[in-house]
Chains A and B, each alone.
Chain A
Amino acid sequence: MSNRCIKILGIGNDIVKISRFTVNSENERFLKRAFHPVEIEKFKELKLQSQQNALQYLAGRWAAKESVYKAFKGIERAKLNFQNIRILSNSDGSPYVDLIENSLDLSKQLNVTDIHISISHDTDYAIANKSISIS
C-alpha cells in the first residue's frame, strides 16, 4: 500500500438542465465564449447524428467546466476562462481536463498535480464532479 499523501485543493460539482443549451448552442458567439474550438467541433459533429446527444455533450462539458471552477475555490473567473478549461476524452471515452493558457498558469502556481473528473447524464440533466489534488 502506498504511503503517498494526497492533498486535496478542493472539490466541485455542477448540474445543468440539458434543454438550456437548445437555443444558445445555435449562437456561434455563445459557443466561442464558453467552449474551446475542439469542443465546438465535436459538438457540431455529434449534432449531425443526433441533436439530443450533441446537447447532452455540451451540457456535460459546461457542468464539468463549472465544477472545475468551483474546485479551485474562490478564484476569480477571469483566471479560469471556460475556453481554457478543455474537457477532452480518452480513447475509451472517459473525460479528462486539459487546462491551457491562463488556467494552466494558475494550476502551476497552485502546484496542481491531478484533476479527477466524472460526468453523468440522465435524460434531462447533466452532472459533473471534480477533485483537484496538489503536491
Chain B
Amino acid sequence: MLSRSFKSLVQIQRPVLMAGQSSMIRSFSSDHRLSEKEVTDRILEVISKYDKCAGKSVSPSDTFKELELDSLDSADILVAVEEEFGIEIPDEEVDRITSVKDTISYIRKTPTAK
C-alpha cells in the first residue's frame, strides 16, 4: 500500500508535457540573454552603490583604477555583481576583470546570468 501511495505521488508530481510544449521550454531557455542595456544599467547601479563610488559619476568606459578602486574594492564589487546576476565568476576570470566594460562583457557572454 505504501509503495502504491509513493508511486501515485511520483506520478502526480511529474510534469505532463504535451507535444510542442517541450520545444517551447527549450527555446525559452536558449534565447534567454540579457540585453546590453539591462546588463550595463544593473552593473552601473551595483558599482554606484559601493561606498567608495558614492557621489561619483560611474560610466561604462571607466576602469576600476580610474574610479580609485583597489584590489579589495574590486573583489567586493565583483562579489556584489555575482550576487546581482546569480552567477559565480571563475577565479581566473575574476582576476582579468579590471574595468566596468570587462564586467559588462563577462556578464553578456554568460548565458546563466539572470
Residues of A that sit less than 8 Å from B by CB = 16, 20, 24, 27, 29-30, 33-34, 62, 66, 69, 76-78, 80-81, 83
Measured in the bound complex, the distance between the Cα atoms of B91 and A16 in whole Å is: 22
State how many residues of chain B have any CB contact under 8 Å with chain A. Answer: 14
In the complex, given contacts A33-B78, A33-B94, A78-B91, what are 11 additional A-B residue pairs having Cβ atoms less than 8 angstroms apart? A16-B72, A20-B72, A24-B75, A24-B79, A33-B75, A33-B91, A66-B71, A76-B95, A77-B96, A78-B92, A78-B96
* A90 CB to nearest chain B CB (Å): 26
Contact present for A81 and B75 (CB under 8 Å): no
**How far in angstroms is the closest Cβ of chain A from B85?**
13
Secondary structure at the A interface, as helix, strand, loop or mixed, is helix
Q: What are the 9 tightest A-B residue pairs by CB atom distance, in nearest-first order?
A: A77-B95, A78-B95, A78-B92, A30-B79, A81-B91, A29-B79, A24-B76, A78-B96, A34-B75
Chain B residues, CB < 8 A from A78: 91-92, 95-96
Give every chain A residue within 8 A of B62 (Cβ-Cβ).
Answer: none
| Chain B residues with CB under 8 A of A20 | 72
